[in-house]
Amino acid sequence: MKTVGYAAFSSDAHMQPYHFERRDLRGNDVAIEILYSGICHSDLHTVNGDWGKQHYPLVPGHEIIGRVIDVGPQVTRYQVGDNVGVGCMVDSCQACDQCDHGEEQYCRNGMTPTYGAPDRIDGEITQGGYSKHIVVREEFVLRLPEALDPSRAAPILCAGITTFSPLRTWNVGKGSRVGVIGLGGLGHMAVKLAVAMGAEVTVLSRSARKAEEAEGLGAKGVLVSTDRGAMKAAAASLDLILDTVPVRHDLKPYLPLLDVDGTLVIVGQVGDMDDFASAPMIFGRRRVAGSLIGGIKETQEVLNFCAEHNIHPVCEIIRPDEVNDAYTVMAKGDIAHRYVMDMSSLAVAD
């Protein structure tokens, strides 16, 4: 199938139109016309080559909302016309213990990311959502609940699941005291989801500038991490901290905020930490943990949860030809919303 998208042709992260082909449908494949495609901070890092060498041209994008336009003969779950989503993975071995219990992101044989990795069957490099069409095996296609606005649902598929999964893993519920570091694409979803689960949420920020924004999302308030007095007064006041900052930073100021048995979960790609103090962990049985997206079953759960609680990410809708401008803004710092591309202006050449 002929399609068109926006691709990086080298590590300069400049996106250009790219005409390419999607594979012919296999028995269990679903062909999707992409309607909306979210722009994730990790797209920028990946095309830049920050996380290792890439195959170019590379079409990024793993927050995909679209409509089914064709299905393979063995497909049972989807029909032409269904509104669906695709997130950060498009395949896994489907045979190991992790795949068996719905944690394909930790597949023993390595899951297949939505873009930039070899397909398990033909070895072709996967290409993501900044395109008009995608072909994905049905096990990795999500159902878009009717209550969700398709134009604002795409970021749930990465930013949403990445924060939802640790909130569930650490049993956040009514009365949980949750801190969120960073109020970008991930952080703002973390606040909305944790509030909907009944938690009392505090945003940890370097300045009080974000207070109004945080409260607008349902947070109790902002704790300014550069205010030593306020940080001291907040000691042992949190059960869980979600650290969404996607660059290297010091965790030490945050650990004393955890109560006994509290956990700080890293969901951003922080890289190596050169300075790590064990004392705050020992004195309080505190933990530092990590978490990667979520399984397919849980991704469907977060979509359903957002539908049930009327949660939509804060989105700014742009055209695909504005992607480079969006990258420039994102590279400068965190923004408390997600850029989502409306793909309707993309046309496939004859």
Q: Which residues bind Zn ion (CB under 5 A)?
A: 40, 42, 92-93, 96, 99, 107, 158
**What are the backbone dihedrals phi and psi of residue 260, each rounded to the nearest 5 degrees, phi first?**
-55, 135
What is the smallest separation between the CB atom of 340 and Zn ion, expressed in angstroms?
Answer: 13
Q: Residue 27 has which token pair? A: 């028995």
C-alpha span between 238 and 133 (Å, rounded): 44
What is the smallest separation between the CB atom of 97 and Zn ion, expressed in angstroms?
Answer: 8
- Who contacts 196 (Cβ-Cβ below 8 Å, separation ≥6)? 218, 305, 309, 311
What is the smallest separation between the CB atom of 44 and Zn ion, expressed in angstroms?
Answer: 10
- Residue closer to Zn ion by CB (options 42, 163) is 42
Sheet-wide strand order for 221-224: 221-224, 200-205, 177-181, 238-243, 258-266, 287-290
- Residue closer to Zn ion by CB (options 234, 292) is 292
What is the smallest separation between the CB atom of 262 and Zn ion, expressed in angstroms?
Answer: 26
- E strand or H helix at 76: none
What is the smallest separation between the CB atom of 45 and Zn ion, expressed in angstroms?
Answer: 10
Q: Name the β-bridge partners of 203.
A: 180, 222
- Residue closer to Zn ion by CB (options 99, 238) is 99
C-alpha span between 143 and 307 (Å, rounded): 11
- Residue closer to Zn ion by CB (options 100, 261) is 100
Q: Residue 101 has which token pair? A: 């219990």
What is the smallest separation between the CB atom of 94 and Zn ion, expressed in angstroms?
Answer: 6
- Residue closer to Zn ion by CB (options 100, 149) is 100
| Residue showing the smallest CB distance to Zn ion in the complex | 40
Place of tokens 């570091």: 181
- E strand or H helix at 340: strand 338-342
- Residue closer to Zn ion by CB (options 96, 289) is 96
